[in-house]
Amino acid sequence: MPETIKVGLVQMRCGADPAQNLTRAIAGIREAAAQGARIVCLPELFRTLYFCKHEDPHHFQLAEPVPGPTTERLAALAAELQVAILASLFEKRTDGLYHNTLAVLDPERGYLGKYRKMHIPHDPLFEEKYYFAPGDLGFRVFDTAGVRIGTLICWDQWFPEAARLTALQGAQVLFYPTAIGWLPEEEATEGAIQHEAWELVQRAHAITNGCYVAVVNRTGFEPAPPGASFQGIRFWGQSFVAAPDGTVLARAPVDEEAVLVVSLDLSVIDRFRTTWPFFRDRRIDAYAELTRRFLDDNH
């Protein structure tokens, strides 16, 4: 197992043409690989505009099987560049059943498997419950590039249970492909608080689980459809990598595409998990109530 590894995050704008988005994603992967990255992660649903801003049955035509055409192309690229690739895709499982899915492509073994997003949001311009069934594969880890990684997606990043259950399977790095941003109507009054909360909760996952956290967002403004109550979403970029002590090792800009390549010292994970022994001191005998929706008498 390597003591250090470089990971790459491809922060990108996404347009209306899936083929062009894939071409630009591949260019970002190549750039990250040229800088020495061994694992490269793309943003959530990178092949398309963020179509979940409203309910439109035509958008289901954007979905594809996983594994399928995109994973085949990226698996070939992974083999060529000798990098692992993490790709978030709109999965068509069967007629009428769709998921928000992350595929893992290994340079030697090709398609390793997938994770289906467990937590599905439903907010203004984030109407994902219309499109995606909740994941049914559980929280997953994959061994690739000599590292054990955990794969989660966007709204999952707010839930400490998801990070913990993934880390308890030995994940050394948690990856969160993301599509999150500001509603322009709220940015002046709430934008700084919203972004700070998003970053802080994930830095906390790094601390409480003694692992690295790598978050890759999209950037740019995507308008809402005509007649919507809001203008659209300005994705706030700012992809970042946090160390096991919560330190931000690198952060991308707000309004620009960027390829971050960050070297991770895996040897410090044992030290942090030993000196901050959260795994040791967990009271697993006292947590059964976490399986209840709320602690009242209505159960």
Neighbour tally for 129: CB within 10 Å: 14
What local confidence, expressed as pLDDT, does residue 215 receive? 98
* pLDDT tens-place string over residues 114-170: 999 999 999 999 999 999 999 999 999 999 999 999 999 999 999 999 999 999 999
Among residues 25, 41, 42, 89, the alpha carbon closest in space to that of 63 is found at 89
Q: What is the mean pLDDT of residues 50-65?
A: 97
* pLDDT tens-place string over residues 171-201: 999 999 999 999 999 999 999 999 999 999 9
Cβ–Cβ < 8 Å for 85, 42: yes
pLDDT over 70, % of the chain: 99
Question: For the chain, what is the mean pLDDT?
Answer: 96
Which amino acid appears at position 104 of this protein? V
Least confident of 49-58, 221-230, 243-252, 287-296: 221-230
Domain parsing of the chain, residue ranges:
4-291
Label residue 215 exposed, middle or buried (CB < 10 Å: 0-12, 13-18, 19+): buried
Q: What is the mean pLDDT of residues 220-245?
A: 94
Q: Which fold has domain 4-291?
A: Nitrilase/N-carbamoyl-D-aminoacid amidohydrolase (3.60.110)
Q: Which two tokens stand for residue 97?
A: 């059943």
Q: 68-92 in b/e burial notation, b at 16+ Cβ within 10 A?
A: eebbeebbebbeebebbbbbbbbbb
Give helix then strand counts, H and E, for the chain: 6, 17
pTM of structure? 0.97
Compute the half-sphere exposure of residue 183: CA atoms within 13 Å on the CB side of its CA.
14
Taking 80 as the threshold, does the pLDDT of residue 62 lie above it? yes
Q: Which residue is it, tokens 């309910």?
A: 55
Contacts (Cβ under 8 Å, ≥6 apart) of 220: 13, 14, 234, 235, 255
CA-based torsion, 3, 247, 152, 286: positive or negative: positive
Q: Which residues are catalytic?
A: 44, 117, 154
What is d(CA 223, CA 134) in angstroms, rounded to the nearest whole number? 26
Q: Which residues, in sequence order, are bridge partners of residue 111?
A: 105
